[in-house]
Chains A and B, each alone.
Chain A
Amino acid sequence: MGETAEVLIIGAGASGAVAAKHLSEAGVRVVCLEQGRAVTSDEFYGDKPEWELMSQRLWHPNPNVRGLATDYPIDTSESDVNPLMFAGVGGSTLIYAAHWQRFMPSDLRVRTLDGVADDWPFTYQDLEPFYDFMDEEMGVSGLAGDPAYPPMTPPPLPPMPIGTIGRLAAKGMNDLGWHWWPAPQAIPSRAYRGRSQCVRRGTCMQGCPEQAKASTDLTHWPDAIANGAQLITGARVREITVNAAGLATGAIWIDRDGVEHHQKAEKVIVCANGVGTPRLLMLSGGDRFANGLGNSSGLVGRNLMMHPYAATVGYFDEPLDSWLGPAGQAIHSMQFYETDKSRGFVRGAKWNAMPTGGPLGMRSAYGGAPLEEAWGENLRRSTQKRFGHSFEWGIIAEDLPDPDNRVVLDDTLTDSDGIPSPKIIYRNSENTEKLIAFHLDRQKEAMEACGASSISTTTLMRDCGWHLMGTCRMGNDPETSVLDQWGTSHDVANLHVLDGSTFVTSSGFNPTATICAIALRSVLHMIETRAEQRTAS
C-alpha cells in the first residue's frame, strides 16, 4: 500500500465503477477502496424457491434490516423515508431494478422554467453524448422514438416485451389518451457483451442470478481490473486526509482484521453514494476544515432528495402471470411529468407499471392490517384476488431540494468499526404531498380504464429511499454549492464527488443513468485536463 495512487476512488458502486474503468483505460493508476465484498451470482436466491423468504432479510434493500457488518447502520428516527442501498462490488446496482431513465431537458432548468430550486450547471444537450455512451456500456434495451424526449440515438438492444401487464396498462392509457412507452431498462433482451439474455425471473431487486442485469460488477469492474485498476474490498474508509496546503493526500481505511492503513493518492474521488459521501466528508478535514471537508458552503449533507414513492395496485379477474419479470417496469408514462401550475403544485413524476411478485411478497403488503383482515379466510380471498391477478402503477415523485432534509453524523450510532453512522432528517414537503395525491387520483383513473375490479393505494412507502441525491450539490457559485460542474470540490482542488450527491434537483426519474452519465462526463474531462490539475504530490 506504500505506492501513491494517481487517483483513489472510494466506493465501487455505479459511479465508482464508471470512473475506475475509464481512468484505468486512459492509463491512470487507480486504487478503489470498497467496504463491501465481491458478490457472485450463485449467492442470489432468484432461481431458488426460497427467494421471497430471503428477500426479507439477507437481500433486503434496507441496511438496518440486513444488519451486515459490511453495511453501516443508519438512524432513521427523524425521517419519513428509509434510505436503501447495498455495499459491495457493484454497490447498489447489485439490487437495483435497472429502470434506465434519462432526465428530460426541463429537469436541468427547473429554476428557469418553474421558478423553484436551481438550474443545473449544464444542459440536457451537454449530457446527451454521455447517456448514449452509457447505454452502450450497460447494454440498454428499449425502443427509440419516445415522444417524452427529444429524438435520441436508439439503445443498443430491442426492448423487453411489455408482457400481459404492460399491454393491459397500455390499453387503459390509450382509452384516456395518455402517454405510455415500452420502458428502457439496463437489462439485456439479448445476450450482450458476456451477459446472458434476461429470462424474466422478476427477482432483479434481490440480485440477478442469471448474470443478465447490468450491475457494474459485471459491466465495468472486469474491464477496470484488466486495465490494471486495483480494487480493495473489505476496506472501510474512515477519513480523507489533507495536507497543510489544504489538498487531499489520500484516505485512512480499516481492513476486516481491524488494521488501519493509509492509501496515499494524488487525487481523491468519492463515490460512496448520497448518504455515504456526505458522511465521509463530515468525518474528514480535521481542525483545518472543522465543518467537514469541502464544506465551506455548509451544504455538505443538505438538500437530501429520496423520491418518496407512492403506488396504486389494480386487481383483475383475468390471470396476468404478474410474477413475471423484469421486476422493474414494463411500460412507463410521463403524461403528468411536466409542471402544470393549475394542479396546485410544481414538477411531476414518472409512472412505472410493474409486476407484483410471488405469494409471500403480497403477504407482507398487509403489515399492520387488523388480524381478521390479514389472516384466516380473508387471507384466502385476498391471495386469490391478488396473486397473479394484479399489477402496480408506481410514482417516482420529484422532491425538491430543501436544506432541512439532510444527512448528519449520529451522536451515538456507529458501524462495526466504531465510525459514526449517518442520521437522516427528512420530511415530505407540502408540494410533494399534493403531487402524490394528484398522481394517485390519476392512477386510479388509469386502473379503472383498464378494467380493474378493485384498486388499492399506498400513499407513501417507508422503505423507498432507493435514490439518494443532492447532498453535495453541483453549481457555479461556491457559496450555494459544494462542487463545480465537473464534480470537483470548490474548496479542495483535488477532491471530487461523482455519485448521486452531485444532483442539483432530483427529477422524477430513477437516477442511475444520469449518475453514470455525469460520472463519465467528469472523468473524461479529468483525463483531458490531466496535465493542468493541482494534486497533492
Chain B
Amino acid sequence: MNTLTDNQRQTLGRIGDSLIPAALGMPSFTGAEAQGEMVDHVLALRPELLNDLRRALDGVAADEDAASATERLNREDPEALGAIGLVASSAYYLMPGVRAIMGYKGQEHRPASADEEHDYLRDNLLQAVVDRGPIYRDPGVE
C-alpha cells in the first residue's frame, strides 16, 4: 500500500528540493532519490508524522511555486512544514549514497585499542594538570 499518492509524493519532491537543494557537492532531495522507498520507510517507522505531512502536501496547489509554498506553510502551519522537513531530511540522510559523500558510516562499531587509552600520559598532555595539584576545597572532617 502506498503511504502517499503520486501527487503528494510529487509535491514532497518539489518542497523537499527547496529545503534540501543541490549544493556544495551534495545532491538535492530528489537528486538523491530520497522521495521514493526511503520516505515510505521513514513513515513506516514514524507513522504519527503522516497526518501533518498529508495535510501539508494536500494544501499545496500543483502550480504553487515550491519556495513560496514553503514560506506560506512556515507562516500558516509550521507543524506541517516541520513534518515535511523531518521526513525529507531523515530520508535524505538515510540514503547510502548521501552518507558516502558525507563520509558518515553511521554510528560506528569502533572498539578502542589499549594504545588509545593513555595517549595523554605518553605525550604529557595531562602533566600540567597534575603539576598544578589539588583544586578542591576541604571542609574538614568533624
Which residues of A pack against B, CB within 8 Å?
46-47, 49-54, 56-57, 104-106, 108-109, 112-113, 123, 125, 145, 147-150, 158-163, 167, 170-171, 173-174, 177, 179-182, 189, 197-203, 319, 323-325, 334-335, 337-338, 358-360, 363, 371, 374-377, 379-381, 383-384, 387-388
Known contacts A123-B141, A174-B129; 9 additional CB pairs below 8 A are A53-B42, A112-B139, A150-B136, A163-B116, A180-B129, A338-B137, A360-B89, A363-B85, A377-B21
A147 touches B130 (CB 8 A): yes
Chain A's closest residue to B142 (CB) is A123
Contact B106–A49 (Cβ < 8 Å): yes
A-B contact pairs, 27 of them (CB 8 A): A46-B107, A51-B107, A57-B46, A104-B136, A123-B141, A125-B141, A147-B132, A150-B134, A159-B118, A161-B112, A162-B119, A162-B120, A167-B119, A179-B129, A179-B135, A180-B129, A181-B129, A182-B126, A200-B109, A200-B112, A203-B107, A334-B136, A337-B136, A338-B136, A338-B137, A359-B102, A376-B19
Contact A388 B119 (CB under 8 A): no
Cβ-neighbour of B128 out of A54, A112, A158, A177 (below 8 A): A177
Which bucket holds chain B's interface residue count? 35 or more
B135 and A106: CB pair below 8 A? Answer: no
**Contact residues in B for A358 (Cβ distance below 8 Å):** 93, 104, 106-107
In the complex, the chain A residue whose C-beta lies closest to that of B26 is A380
Within 8 A of A (CB), among B76-128: 85-86, 89-90, 93-94, 102-104, 106-112, 114, 116-120, 125-126, 128
Q: Judge whether B102 and A379 touch: CB under 8 Å.
A: no
Known: A147-B132, A359-B102. A202 touches B93 (CB 8 A): no
Q: Which residues of A contact B136 (CB under 8 A)?
A: 104-106, 147-150, 334, 337-338
- Shortest CB-to-CB span from B17 to chain A, Å, is 10
> B23 at interface (Cβ–Cβ under 8 A)?
yes
Tell me whether B45 and A50 are in contact (CB under 8 A): yes
Which residue of chain A has the shortest Cβ distance to B81 in the bound complex? A371
A201 and B108 in contact, given A375-B85, A377-B23 (Cβ under 8 angstroms) = yes
Question: In the complex, which residues of chain A have a beta carbon less than 8 angstroms from the beta carbon of B42?
Answer: 53
Q: Which of B71, B94, B107, B141 contacts A202 (CB 8 A)?
A: B107
Q: Are B139 and A388 in contact (CB under 8 A)?
A: no
A379 touches B104 (CB 8 A): no
Given the contacts A123-B142, A377-B23, A379-B20, A145 and B130 also touching, CB distance less than 8 Å: yes
CB distance from B6 to the nearest CB of A (A): 24
Chain B residues with CB below 8 A from A170, complex form: 120, 125-126
Check if B18 is an interface residue, CB within 8 A of chain A. Answer: yes
Secondary structure dominating the interface of A: loop
Least Cβ–Cβ distance between A1 and chain B, in angstroms: 36
Instruction: State whether B24 touches A158 (Cβ < 8 A).
Output: no
Given A53-B42, A358-B104 in contact, is the A47-B23 Cβ separation under 8 Å?
Answer: no
B120 to chain A minimum Cβ distance, whole angstroms, is 6
Whether A147 lies near B93 (C-beta < 8 A) is no
Are B104 and A359 within 8 A (Cβ)? yes
The docked-state distance in angstroms from the alpha carbon of A383 to that of B125 is 31
Separation of A112 and B142 alpha carbons in the complex (Å) = 12
Q: How far is the CA of A481 from the CA of B109 in the complex (A)?
A: 48
B104, B108, B137: the one contacting A387 at CB < 8 Å is: B104
B138 at the interface (CB under 8 A from A): yes
- Within 8 Å by CB of B125, from A52, A125, A174, A376, lies A174
Give the CA-CA distance A363 to B24 in the complex, in Å: 17
Which A residues are CB-close (under 8 A) to B117? 158-161, 189
- Asked whether, in the complex, the Cβ of A53 is within 8 Å of the Cβ of B90, the reply is yes
Answer yes or no: B11 CB below 8 A from chain A CBs.
no
Closest chain B CB from A382 CB (angstroms):
11
**Nearest 9 pairs of A and B residues by beta carbon:** A161-B116, A109-B139, A380-B23, A375-B19, A201-B107, A106-B137, A380-B24, A359-B93, A199-B109
Q: How far is the CA of A323 from the CA of B136 in the complex (A)?
A: 33
Complexed CA–CA distance, A159 and B46 (Å): 38
A174 adjacent to B104 (CB under 8 Å): no
A150 to B110, CA, bound (A): 34
A384 contact set on B, CB distance < 8 A = 24
**B24 with A160: CB separation less than 8 A:** no
- Chain A residues lying within 8 Å of B19, measured Cβ to Cβ, are 375-376, 379
**A325 near B107 (CB under 8 angstroms)?**
yes
With a CB–CB cut-off of 8 A, which chain A residues contact B137? 104-106, 113, 338
Query: A residues within 8 A CB of B108?
Result: 199-201, 323-324
Residue of A nearest to B85 (CB): A375
* In contact, A47 and B139 (Cβ under 8 angstroms): no
- Residues of chain A lying within 8 A (CB to CB) of residue B104: 323, 358-359, 387-388
How many whole Å from B117's CB to the nearest CB in chain A? 5
Assembly CA distance A65 to B120 (angstroms): 41
Separation in Å of the A161 CB from the closest CB of chain B?
Answer: 4
Question: Within 8 Å CB of B141, what residues of A?
Answer: 123, 125
User: What is the bound-complex CA distance between A199 and B116, given in angstroms?
Assistant: 13
Are the C-beta atoms of B134 and A147 separated by less than 8 Å? yes
Contact in complex: B119, A371 (CB < 8 Å): no
CA distance A46 to B109 in the complex (A): 10
Judge whether B30 is part of the interface by a CB distance below 8 angstroms: no
Bound Cα distance A394, B14 (Å): 38
* Residues from chain A with Cβ under 8 Å of B20 in the complex: 375, 379
Residues in B whose Cβ lies below 8 Å from that of A105: 136-139
Q: B63 on the interface (CB 8 Å rule)?
A: no
Q: Is the CB of A200 within 8 A of B110?
A: yes
B70 with A371: CB separation less than 8 A? yes
Q: Which residue of A lies closest to B91 (CB)?
A: A53
In residues 18-52 of chain B, which contact A (Cβ within 8 Å)? 18-21, 23-24, 26, 41-42, 45-46, 48
Determine the distance from Cα of A377 to Cα of B46 in the docked complex, in whole angstroms. 27
Q: Which of A49, A163, A379, A383 contacts B94 (CB 8 A)?
A: A49
A464: shortest Cβ distance to chain B, in Å? 21
Q: Is the CB of B135 within 8 A of A334?
A: yes
